[in-house]
Structure 1
């Protein structure tokens, strides 16, 4: 267990940002919070630079696509305080037509490649990013492969019929 409990961490965050974060849950002891894009950089900055918290390690930035929700695209940040041995997850959900969010590269230089990967696979536009371009897919690709926009299989494929498999 860490030096700071999730309750203490949540109280410290709520004191600084009253009613701007909601607790999503605490799966496997990982405190998960949701906030808006307007305050995400302020929250990240507070978590990193607060002398008691010291979340100096940005573990990951990624996204998720929930096509059935109103705010379909979620940007997820995983932070780790090495000093206190505690982790936190922050989520920001965006409407599909407006997937702009401020960049975290001013706080962590390592966010550069994580944000490029998230842009490449989910189409999230990190405003202020120094070099936001595709990193793993071809440059002229128009779709974002990790979004759930296409059926998993083509129902018209003839080689996937049951009788080919003895059923």
Structure 2
């Protein structure tokens, strides 16, 4: 199935809020964060699509000037041999306000569990409804999220110099 065919199916099902981008080497869809779970369930359950594999979730901090963060999902249908990249864009928190939030899809694809924990740990994106959202790579008492563009590394961690 081509990207255009996938886009047409999703636009018919979810409306014009599905935004295709074909300017990149790998085309992708931008979807509203409010519809993310419904879209993911549709992609997995619709027998024309059957995206049975969530290969990766990646998070991106676009910096304070853009004031946004992105969560990128790479999906594969193993039996149909088609792939889809889609993303959601959320406002970035500023000056100690609440973390940006995206609904968890761990109940749709079990592999999302660890991917979402990694994005939380390193970029500080909260995944609402996640069954066990806690740090996965850094110690539980680590301060901050090191892949954020505004991250300030502490001088020491438990008496060990970090710089």
Q: Please, what TM-score do these two structures have when normalized by structure 2? A: 0.84
Match of 1:31 in 2: 27
Matches within 5 A, 1:95-110: 95-97=91-93, 98-110=99-111
Separation in 1, partners of 2:151, 2:118: 20
1:16 aligns with 2:16: no
Alpha-carbon shift at residue 69 of structure 1 (Å): 0.9
Unaligned regions of 5+ residues in structure 2, if any?
94-98, 153-163
Alpha-carbon shift at residue 150 of structure 1 (Å): 4.6
Matches within 5 A, 1:1-167: 4-25=1-22, 27-28=24-25, 30-67=26-63, 68-70=65-67, 72-97=68-93, 98-150=99-151
Instruction: Give me the CA root mean square deviation.
Output: 1.7
SS of 2:34's equivalent?
coil
Alpha-carbon shift at residue 141 of structure 1 (Å): 1.5
Unaligned regions of 5+ residues in structure 1, if any?
152-167
Structure 1 segments of 4+ aligned residues over 4 angstroms from their partners: none
Match of 1:164 in 2: none
Q: Please, what TM-score do these two structures have when normalized by structure 1? A: 0.82
Separation in 1, partners of 2:124, 2:151: 15
SS of 2:38's equivalent?
helix
**Partners of 2:144 and 2:151 within 8 A in 1:** no
Separation in 2, partners of 1:42, 1:12: 14
Q: How many residues are paired up?
A: 147
Separation in 1, partners of 2:21, 2:123: 22
Which protein is bigger by CA-based radius of gyration? 1
